[in-house]
Chain A
Amino acid sequence: MWGRQVEGRTLTFHLAGINNQNFLMRDEQTGSYWQQVSGQAISGPMKGKSLELVHSDELTFDLWKSEHPDGSILSPVTVNMPDYAKADWEQGLAKLPTVIGFANSPLPNRELVVGVSLHGADRAYPVQAIQKEATVIDQLGETPVLIVTGPDGKSIRAFVRRMDGASLEFFRKTGEPWALIDSATSSEWNFQGCAVSGPASGECLQALDLLKDYWFDWRQYHPATTVYRR
């Protein structure tokens, strides 16, 4: 999700090409070409400029709805609906060949990862590994990181696990409803990263930008990336 304002101009983007299986978009206003995954202009008058990342989530519809009952959802274009991805489209996509690969790669090319970038440090977390662990407690550079799968078992969010300058550890509370408990105050936290009961009530963790991507694409744009627990 990218901001569309660059140097005071609002740009309008069109799908316009592909670069090693990541798409290129062209802006109407300057005719520059932008890489979708990096938000960088790679050709044209805006070459070298970057779009600003807008924080976004990838959630199940149910979970999003529960958090934003007054939200709005993109209307489908009726004539294109027969061409929309089917429910099982991800399995089909996972089988497609890739056109780039890396020597001694720690992960298969089409392994789904979520990537975190913080102050120049990049790390890929395989989605399968995250979903197996109740909470992922990690440290990326100077930053203590929490990655957690939501109550739906599918949605993933990442936070800076720090409150008042001190690092916290988080555990999943057993039973329902879904909650996290922190090691310092034993407060209960929801999936939005906010304490809902206990001494920390009202506190919210800083959310981190996550990029859900295939390993080969993440690796291509983050050549120095590390992989969680590898």
Chain B
Amino acid sequence: MLKAKISLSLWGTILFLCTAAAVLLVLYPIWIIRPFAAQHPASLELALRFIRVAPLVTALIWIAGLLIAIALWRATSQVHSPARRRVPARAAVLTALVLLTASAALARINIFERMFNPVKSVRFLPIAGTVVDPHDMVMAVNVGGKSHAYPIRTMAYHHAVNDVVGGLPLVATY
């Protein structure tokens, strides 16, 4: 009985810290790299570091959290604790699991590509087959006798297009 009580508070704290770490890893970059806010080099650097490690770290935390949650669930079974302790403890464990799962999922999503979908299969059309306003601007590149044009209004949405022109791999960016 006493043993179950000690591990409950210890492992409960560990689960709480795991959850806080996973949530911070995911939310800090979202907060720093939000549009219409200034980005400072040091916080941007940290945010990008978080983004880079988040997929792996949140997955590891998720596994650890799940094991701890199972242990806590068992420790708060009817045999070990009364309902007035069991119900809030289990609610806290479930909340932690939901947050851990959400963090691990969010760490795998490129929010910017959700807002502005990438061009998955880059295709080109001859001039005869296109309807671009004659006064619209295009970005244009010539390499090895090949000329590719990227309409600005299209680029202002996709922002980056991976292409190969005249054998040269390049990325058109706007």
Binding site for B on A (CB under 8 A): 1-5, 10, 12-21, 23-26, 31, 33, 36, 42-44, 51, 54-62, 64-65, 67-77, 79-80, 83-87, 89, 96-97, 99-100, 152, 154-155
Q: Which of B9-17, B90-98, B160-168 interfaces with chain A?
A: B160-168
- Contact count band on B: 35 or more
A1/B173 contact (C-beta < 8 A), A59-B140, A77-B119 known: yes
Q: Which of A4, A12, A55, A73 has the most chain B CB within a 10 Å cutoff?
A: A73
Q: Does B169 contact A (CB under 8 A)?
A: yes
Q: Which of A42, A75, A86, A100 has the most chain B CB within a 10 Å cutoff?
A: A75
Q: Does B158 contact A (CB under 8 A)?
A: yes
Residues of A within 8 A of B150 (CB): 73-74
- Chain B residues 102 to 144 lying within 8 A of chain A, measured CB to CB, are 110, 112-113, 116-120, 122-127, 130, 132-143
Question: Measured between alpha carbons, how far is A20 from B40 in the docked complex, in Å?
Answer: 8
A64 lies within 8 A of B138 (CB): yes
14 of the cross-chain contacts (CB-CB < 8 Å) are A4-B170, A14-B110, A16-B113, A19-B33, A33-B48, A54-B143, A57-B141, A58-B137, A60-B134, A60-B135, A73-B124, A73-B127, A73-B132, A75-B130
What is the CB-to-nearest-CB distance from B130 to chain A, in angstroms, rounded to a whole number?
5
Q: Beyond the given A71-B127, A75-B123, could you list 16 further A-B residue pairs with CB under 8 A, ordered by the A residue number?
A: A2-B171, A15-B118, A15-B159, A21-B35, A59-B138, A60-B138, A61-B133, A61-B151, A68-B140, A72-B147, A74-B122, A74-B124, A75-B125, A80-B117, A85-B157, A97-B36
Mask: chain B, 31-69; 1 = CB below 8 Å from A; 0 = not: 001011111000011001101100000000000000000
A43/B159 contact (C-beta < 8 A), A54-B170, A61-B149 known: no
A99 lies within 8 A of B127 (CB): no
Select from chain A the residue with minimum beta-carbon distance to B164: A4
Residues of A within 8 A of B159 (CB): 15, 23, 36
B171 lies within 8 A of A4 (CB): yes
Question: Measured between alpha carbons, how far is A13 from B168 in the docked complex, in Å?
Answer: 15
